[in-house]
Amino acid sequence: MFSNKLIKRILHAYSLTFMTGAGISAESGVPTFRGKDGLWQNHDVQQLATPRALESEPELFWEFYRWRRQLLARVEPNLGHYALVDLENRYKGFTLITQNVDNLHIKAGNRHVLELHGNITRTYCSKCGKEFAEGEYDDTPAVPKCTQCGGVLRPGVVLFGESLPSAILAEAQQAAAESEVFFSVGTSSIVEPAASLPYIAKANGAYLVEINPEETPLSAHADEVIREKSGKILAAIVLALERIA
């Protein structure tokens, strides 16, 4: 399953970094929007989730994101998410980086999450940048508008073609560089710049672990590869640490 060496490295580490991708949320039933899941009502998701679609087809854009929000509101965290909460409570030097926008890490109880691609539960104005909490704006029109400037609202996610938030990316890069053990969990390891984070960690001496049922470009570079679903493995790691304690 995983090596004794890994458990020893975790036990003696101060800084642990976990980067999660679509795989951990897929275990909760969240669509990955890759392959056969890449369509919604016969629309290509990678064409819908763009600034261009928000500008040219805002009604369709918002219909899609309302559907996604309703879907995700019914989804619950799984054992992998809860295991990461346990690990955050155990280690002061814990960092959680995620490529997911589904809010499941926060829903599970993680307090500090570096959300590289944003969070679908948040909303802000595409014109003036004003942020709105749930219930602070009228969501009944087909295209919700800003109460401050009248601009079109948008979910707080990074759309295809947009850059990642620079401050969060910089914090993630620093965490990777300072990490003693770095876990890549359920991510395809092909989407940049997130895909570079494990290599930054390894270049700075981290023990690099990949948890993924499928082979990825990272597999050949990892110090340990675990070909299992993340929920099972992360829960087993927590259990092993508790037994030793």
Given the structure tokens 């990490």, which residue do they identify?
A: 179
| Strand 39-40, strand 43-44: pairing | antiparallel
189, 195 contact by CB (below 8 A): yes
* Residue 115 bridge partners (DSSP): 98
Which of 12, 43, 81, 117 is labelled catalytic?
117
Among residues 220, 160, 213, 178, which one has the least CA distance to residue 21? Answer: 213
Given the structure tokens 């275990």, which residue do they identify?
A: 27
Q: Is the peptide bond before 217 cis (omega within 30 degrees of 0)?
A: no
Q: How many Å from the N-terminal Cα to the C-terminal Cα in the chain?
A: 20
Distances, alpha carbon 84 to alpha carbons 57, 66, 88, 160, 203, in Å: 38, 28, 6, 28, 24
> b vs e for 188-209, b when ≥16 Cβ sit within 10 Å of the residue's Cβ?
bbeeeebbebbbbbbeeebbbb
Q: Is 221 a catalytic residue?
A: no
Active site amino acids: 117
